[in-house]
Structure 1
Amino acid sequence: MTATIATPRIGRLSAALPFWLSLLLIPIVWVSAIWGGWALLLVPVCTWYLFGIIDIFAGLNEANPDTATPDDQLWWYRIITIIWAPLQVGTVFGVLYYATQTNHLDGWELVALFFGVGIVTGTVGINYAHELMHQRPKVERWMADILLAMVLYSHFRSEHLLVHHRYVGTPRDPVTARYNEGFHRFFPRVLVGCYVSAFRVEKAKLARKDRPWHDSRNPFWRYWALQLAFLTLAAIIGGWLGVALFVWQAFIAAWHLELVNYIEHYGLTREHLGNGKYEHVKPHHSWNSAQKVSNWLLINLQRHSDHHYKPDRRFPLLPTYAADDAPQLPYGYSVMGIVAMMPPVWRRMMNPQVKKWRRQHHPHITDWSAYKAATHPWPR
């Protein structure tokens, strides 16, 4: 069950303003580009450390909105996700032009600058794309496609909507992190697996209509066209250096996306019912976090259980769940992401949590190694 419902005046601008914190990252990127040097640390320090530190003092937000709130009262929340795409296009290519044409940054400074750009396009851009791709209005889904194409990860839309939501917690979902699987092993596996599963599911979808994979209705044509357009623009602005820097920020963005995927479902598995079938997705199949400030930055992504229950529910309406119903992370995603980059530390922190989860939700399974070998053929 969800926590006690509160009824804040969710439609007011003042209630939505904390979620607009991401806009502050745009001037920070420009300060980094103009000043160079130590200023290049501003983006990673703000996103990785500052939000985590503030979370400690700000505490948790366990209040829930009225999930029946109509869309016309959510304008101030929706607009931030819609305007982010043009803002990101202007920022990425504006900074690319400035960095490649002024020549005031040396090679390592350029690498560091676009590392920071990748943090923004991954932490905010892909996260907003994730929100937008689940919505019905075409303009929002197009904004999602633009944001994903900017990080050369357009296939995430197909994989997430058609594979992840259906098969999370089973061997058929490449982005469910296996128990004891370190992030450095997870990341290269999922880079390939995500793309392959996305292409296969679209190919199978067309085959059911007796159409070949290269049919014009395959969204991969749109994905490839948008990505080619952005790569071409990068080449026009900065030549081969511009392309290299654009690809670099895309890689960093994908790394941040998959770091979040790794955290969200680590070690959680749906019970096998026989004949290749698994139990329905439930709140306890996602890790959650009620840290207030990191949820502002990530537009409630950490309220992940309810997202899997109702994927098209807009982010301000996502409720949090009580700890007895959905597993809770020790810290927000910003801190957990840092921990995940150190697999031994991650395992010491999270493996006991997974074992506790198993005892609570699957007490009848006493030998997990044998059970997983028979029903979840994953690395153990």
Structure 2
Amino acid sequence: MVAPVLTVPGCPAWRDGKRYMWLTATVVPLTAIVGYGLWHRTGVGLHWWITPLFVFGLVPLLDLTSPPDAVNPPEAVRAQLEADRYYRRCTYLYLPLAGIALVLGAAAWGQGHLSVLARVGAVLSVGSVTGVGITTAHELGHRRSRLERVLARLMLSATGYGHFLVEHNRGHHRRVATPRDPASARLGEGFWRFWPRTVFGGLRSAWVLEADRLRQRGRRVWSPRNEVLRGWLLTATLYGTLSAIFGVEVLGFLVAQALVGVTLLEGVNYIEHYGLARARLPGGRYEPVTPRHSWNSDAVVSNLALYQLQRHSDHHAHPTRRYQALRSFPESPQLPAGYATLLVAAWLPPLWFHLMDDRVLAHYGGDLTLAHVQPSRARALADRYRA
């Protein structure tokens, strides 16, 4: 199949060479479904490890052996590109496949025939599916379409992260790269210290934002109109239904895979803004968000698998742009690899600091005072870079 040619009078014709490769993300739930099928047929628990091996093995390998892709679609064809419903259907397809993977994982767990190796693999496999699903929900949740926002909420129910849409859209995008944002990692802050700060800080922020919205409209906070409560109710309904069908023991599986999915998401959050800071202006306000306030990567395979989330600089500067129209900017700070490769490094703080701290300082011309620094590490970092 050949992608259609987009034409605008007075501009060269353009074709999206990656059009059919945007289905790469669906490979993640498909590998989990295949893993279940092979395990069910053979009884070999190793088949449950196909998905984590794809996510953390094959994707990084392909990223590292493929040239980066910094090609931007011409701005003249943006309207046509974003109006093409094919790209939306690529994201819609993820939800039913992820749902099948989740149900199959719960069914296998409920049967009680999984070995320890298979249980760990099942949790990592389905957790990877729902973790990538949060990034799919992120793309859908930025849209005004009722259908896309409903699909985003359904996807988030698998990890109990229904409050994410409230905090991300109304909190993170306003506070990014400032001390008030729980999802912006500080220079010198290890991931395992960041994890509780962002998870519980994001939850608290979402509740406050939604409570304020309801009060301003004269509504009760504890009501069906509360978007945070509605998200949690979806999770309770999903988990309750699966427990009723497959047995109460699947609750342990559901919680475990949710923790894996949330850890994948927060690992991405950790990478996206590590050490970056918006300057404070006279009067106390922060400078506007620009492409310099998010880390970028043009690693092609992980960009395909994450709906181009790694072009994060353009996403924050222009949150309404759809993933197929996001651009790479030369002024954005560049990551040394794609998210799939760097997630493992982020979980090993000494390795992460070795890879990234010098890059943060280089981005600010060696001036540590311009970076977003972990307070408890400020003196040590100042001594280190002074030396």
TM-score by length of 1: 0.89
Please name the residue that 1:191 is paired with. 199
Matches within 5 A, 1:213-252: 213-252=221-260
The reply to whether residue 208 of structure 1 matches residue 216 of structure 2 is yes
Please name the residue that 1:151 is paired with. 159
The reply to whether residue 337 of structure 1 matches residue 346 of structure 2 is no
Please name the residue that 2:121 is paired with. 112
Please name the residue that 2:27 is paired with. 24
| Contact 2:361/2:368, CA 8 A, preserved across alignment | no
Output one character per residue of 1:248-299: Cα deviation in whole Å (capped at 9) or x when no partner. 1111000000000000000001001144311110110000001111111111
Matches within 5 A, 1:55-74: 55-67=63-75, 68-70=78-80, 73-74=83-84
Please name the residue that 2:355 is paired with. 349
Larger deviation, residues 280-289 vs 58-67: 58-67
Please name the residue that 2:382 is paired with. none
The reply to whether residue 94 of structure 1 matches residue 94 of structure 2 is no
1:211 Cα deviation after fit: 3.1
One-letter identity of the residue aligned with 1:295: N
Output one character per residue of 1:209-250: Cα deviation in whole Å (capped at 9) or x when no partner. 333322432212311221111111121122222111111111
| Contact 1:303/1:320, CA 8 A, preserved across alignment | yes
Distance 1:206 1:274, change over 3 A: farther
Give distance in 2, aligned partners of 1:171 and 1:198.
16
1:73 Cα deviation after fit: 4.9
| Contact 1:99/1:105, CA 8 A, preserved across alignment | yes
Taking only the aligned residue pairs, the percentage that are identical comes to 35
The reply to whether residue 270 of structure 1 matches residue 273 of structure 2 is no
How many residue pairs get aligned? The number is 361
1:108 Cα deviation after fit: 4.2
Give distance in 2, aligned partners of 1:42 and 1:299.
21
One-letter identity of the residue aligned with 2:90: I
Q: Which runs of 5+ in 2 are unaligned?
A: 1-10, 379-387
| Contact 1:69/1:317, CA 8 A, preserved across alignment | no
Aligned with 2:73: secondary structure?
coil
Give distance in 2, aligned partners of 1:301 and 1:16.
16
Matches within 5 A, 1:309-328: 309-322=317-330, 325-328=331-334
Give distance in 1, aligned partners of 2:187 and 2:58.
29
1:379 Cα deviation after fit: 6.3
Give distance in 1, aligned partners of 2:377 and 2:156.
30
Give distance in 2, aligned partners of 1:42 and 1:336.
20
Distance 1:280 1:37, change over 3 A: same
1:82 Cα deviation after fit: 1.1
One-letter identity of the residue aligned with 2:335: L
| Contact 2:66/2:300, CA 8 A, preserved across alignment | yes
The reply to whether residue 160 of structure 1 matches residue 160 of structure 2 is no
Aligned with 1:69: secondary structure?
helix
Give distance in 2, aligned partners of 1:56 and 1:108.
29
1:6 Cα deviation after fit: 9.0
Distance 1:354 1:217, change over 3 A: same
The reply to whether residue 253 of structure 1 matches residue 253 of structure 2 is no
Distance 1:6 1:52, change over 3 A: farther
One-letter identity of the residue aligned with 2:369: W
Give distance in 2, aligned partners of 1:8 and 1:328.
26
One-letter identity of the residue aligned with 1:109: A
Aligned with 2:18: secondary structure?
helix
1:56 Cα deviation after fit: 2.0
Distance 1:53 1:252, change over 3 A: same
Please name the residue that 1:46 is paired with. 54
| Contact 2:109/2:250, CA 8 A, preserved across alignment | no
| Contact 2:289/2:317, CA 8 A, preserved across alignment | yes
The reply to whether residue 182 of structure 1 matches residue 185 of structure 2 is no
Please name the residue that 1:121 is paired with. 130
Please name the residue that 1:368 is paired with. 369
Please name the residue that 1:307 is paired with. 315
Distance 1:238 1:199, change over 3 A: same
Give distance in 2, aligned partners of 1:91 and 1:372.
39
Larger deviation, residues 163-172 vs 87-96: 87-96
1:377 Cα deviation after fit: 6.5
One-letter identity of the residue aligned with 2:320: D
Give distance in 1, aligned partners of 2:131 and 2:13.
32
TM-score by length of 2: 0.87
- Equivalent of residue 140 in structure 1, options 123, 148, 173: 148
